[in-house]
Structure 1
């Protein structure tokens, strides 16, 4: 880690020795990256399994289309639990600190994912099997509801001010790495294992592997110091006594705009990762499931570069312009993408999914990593980011699977309805970018949300952004 001038360090870290600051910045990056990788490995793997495995193994034989809808319904249950996890752990994170909550959430999230790997199937346990799957999805979602928000806040509060966009985006390479690993593992399992063996025990192996990531994440997080911002809040006795009350009063505008910003990024991500696979491997299209899954793998590989790149660009040109580019790109990309998916050519489908994830989605994710924490005041930042992220995860990501699967079943796999759905999400996010002020370089010790700036501070921020 290169030397960081004291003047460029985050608020509250100016007096910290250089070696100590550099070491904690490295640990924060690694800690957040591994947590992100585990979360998105589990969720991407679950999405792949939902479309191609769980609909077969956890429901009685019968209507294949409705079994897929039911499987995506359980997939959506995890999203329903996320806002409650975000609310519960987010409030604790603003009262107890970022580090403590991140240790708890990685245990809960990873433990539930590991247990999915030992579940009985419908053949051996009947309806107990999908019930247990629902319970574990609830626990997985409850823990994940604060994991990503915590990682986002942790990095924003540790990162050098002038490079906050870039550094805040670095841990989110873990999202791409986790999704890439899930796509790679799934593709290899389906290609190398006979179908009977894969459906018998092969699908369990990726979930059981989550245990290894838990141990690595716990080791790193145990050595991490609390963020400089939270230390300053404790020092000056500015910890919020009632962060939930604050977020639903003064913080509500930020949460609403944050939800809007996430609709295209989150919804588009899950539509390209899971729903597109269900669409192109359906009886109407008939592509090979293992081959098309490489689109997710390639998209995540692109994201390893596009996420930090767009984070860096947001340091130079501002968070809002870069975010708006991603939203408009997805809006323009939607109809050509779903039409090309309907053509039924494997190479084209792989390319469409890869560009959708790697460029359209991740052009928003890069600047989002610093934008969301900068939108909220210090006293309720963890909770604000968690609420914006997780309510949008239900409205966008959770509904993307179950509603999309239902639309496929009701319209006999008509691509136009899916394109309209994704275009709607992109239009919402594009509109939301006109509601948020530029936040680049904002002082994270401020207790006021960016959407509640005084006129004087707003003028100052605009002048600073123009320089």
Structure 2
């Protein structure tokens, strides 16, 4: 059942905490998704050579993209553990722990030796650190958006919570952009030898700034008021009282396949020699950057509008159209049409997907009660991301370079998942401007 708050209002939050929580969420999401996204770029551009050398380029691509997907394998486990931690011990403690864990694991990726130096130990260590990354990132957005939701005025909740999602796109821009000068100014040999490590080292800077801001945040009043009343495991209570919303939220999360199709698989499809498109890496890397710039501009706009007209219209319409546009997008990539590739990437990922991305966090947070809010959000988000995160490696298997029908096959799978996402939103209850308790 969907939670609704009681008419009584718990103790009020201090003035300015909503804005500070939004800033903390923005910075934290920027860092976490920068860390998580640079792995995607590296997996597509350099990891097939650095960690998975093979006589067959197709095998190296599959292995490299599989390690990208491994990060999503740990996310459901991380959602369970960190969601429980956030619901039982507080949102603030969760946010600090998740950020430290992500920052350390990302820095260590940059320190790893290559396959040529230590053999199979190199990809094994890479997989371990990717698992830690996935575990850490599973708690970040759930904790950050819960903190904002419980501090924010209900009439501005959609707008303020959208900044955490804006941070995810800004982090993705930084991740993509960090490889552009490297791939342009460094030789291929230098990029493979040491240049790829630089983006992984840079994450240490943002960790310090974000931790300072988070140290000044108060725990949310609604959590503090109810902390003493918790008597059951959050996961048990979640399935007992909110099983339906949890299932619908997971299905709605299938819209994330748009990002994995356009950004992750799209990079591999466009730049890896095995597929034959042969688009220059420093050219293609600008495409998701441009799409993400459009996303950064539109996310707060969609968030603000969701406070006025509701969340459901964006969650229904955005994934549906975004998924449909992914089909011609892959065809124009195959045709090496850079102009149309940019236009369709902006339309599919930069506009339509962002309708979902800007509003799903507030919608999901409003679906669950305080006692299980972090767990409910984290599980639904990360189970969905686990499924869609494995899509790039699945795409490489079901539509290998030799198949000759890559755009059609991948496009159809993307469309089916997006239709399911829209249907789940259609059959859900509107939550905008509701009280949370």
TM over 0.5: yes
Contact 1:295 1:352 in 2 (8 A): no
**Does the Cα contact within 8 Å between 1:341 and 1:349 map onto a contact in 2?**
yes
341-350 or 36-45, larger mean C-alpha shift: 341-350
1-side partners of 2:323 and 2:264: how far apart? 19
Higher mean displacement: 287-296 or 186-195: 186-195
2:10 to 6, 9, 12: 12
1:240·1:379 contact (CA, 8 Å) conserved in 2? no
Tell me the secondary structure at the aligned position of residue 440 of structure 1: coil
Query: What residue is the counterpart of 1:21 in the other structure?
Result: 15
Shift of 1:177: 1.1
Partner in structure 2 of residue 98 of structure 1:
91
Cross-structure match for 2:3 = none
Contact 1:110–1:214 (CA under 8 A) maintained in structure 2: yes
The 1:274/1:11 distance shift into structure 2, 3 A limit, reads farther
| Range 183-192 or range 129-138, more displaced | 183-192
* Cα drift, residue 338 of structure 1: 2.1
Residue deviations 1:228-264, cap 9 Å, x none?
2212213xx3335311111222222121111111101
Q: Which residue does 1:139 correspond to in 2?
A: 132
Distance 1:417 1:240 in 2: 49
Q: Provide the rounded CA distance (Å) in 2 between the counterparts of 1:363 and 1:207.
A: 30
Q: Distance in 1 between matches of 2:18 and 2:230?
A: 23
Aligned equivalents of 2:31, 2:395: Cα separation in 1: 26
Corresponding residue of 1:75? 68
Matches within 5 A, 1:216-295: 216-234=209-227, 237-264=228-255, 266-283=256-273, 284-295=276-287
Match for residue 337 of structure 2 among 331, 338, 345: 345
Equivalent pair of 2:141/2:164 in contact (CA under 8 Å): no
Structure-2 separation of matches of 1:114 and 1:393: 23
Aligned equivalents of 1:379 and 1:217: distance in 2?
26
3-state DSSP of counterpart to 1:298: helix
* CA-CA distance at 1:168 after TM superposition: 0.9
Q: Deviations over 1:409-444 (max 9, x none)?
A: 262462100101110111111111122100011211
Does the 8 Å CA contact 2:77/2:135 hold for their aligned counterparts? yes
Relative to 1, partners in 2 of residues 1:325 and 1:240: Cα closer, same or farther, differing over 3 Å? farther
Give the drift of 1:392: 0.4
The more displaced of 321-330 and 127-136 is: 321-330
What TM-score, normalized to structure 1? 0.88
Give the CA deviation at 1:13.
4.9
Structure 2 length normalisation: TM-score?
0.94
Secondary structure of 1:60's counterpart equals: coil
Deviation track 1:343-381 (CA, whole Å, cap 9, x = no partner) reads 112232233323322112111011112101001111100
Query: Bigger shift: 62-71 or 34-43?
Result: 34-43
CA distance in 2, matches of 1:240, 1:203: 48
Contact 2:311 2:363 in 1 (8 A): yes
Q: Cα RMSD over matched residues?
A: 1.6
Where do residues 374-385 of structure 1 align in structure 2 (5 Å cutoff)?
Answer: 374-385=366-377
Worse-superposed segment, 344-353 or 360-369: 344-353
SS of equivalent to 1:249: helix
Moved more, 352-361 or 26-35: 352-361
Contact 2:258 2:326 (8 Å CA) reproduced: no
Number of residues of Structure 1 aligned to a counterpart in Structure 2: 427
Q: Shift of residue 12 of structure 1?
A: 3.2
Question: How do 1:119-268 residues align onto structure 2 when only pairs under 5 Å count?
Answer: 119-234=112-227, 237-264=228-255, 266-268=256-258
Call closer, same or farther: CA 1:286–1:241 in 2, change over 3 Å: same
Aligned to 2:111: 118
Asked if the contact 2:166/2:358 (under 8 Å) is kept, the reply is no
CA distance in 1, matches of 2:64, 2:54: 13
Q: What corresponds to 2:415 in structure 1?
A: 423
Local SS of the residue matching 2:155: helix
Query: Could you tell me how far 1:152 is from its partner in structure 2?
Result: 1.4
Q: 1:462 matched to which residue of 2?
A: none
* Cα drift, residue 213 of structure 1: 1.4
Give the superposition deviation at 1:291: 0.3
Q: 1:52 to 1:431 in 2, by over 3 A?
A: same
Task: Note if 1:311 corresponds to 2:303.
Answer: yes
Unpaired stretches in structure 2, ≥5 consecutive residues: 1-7
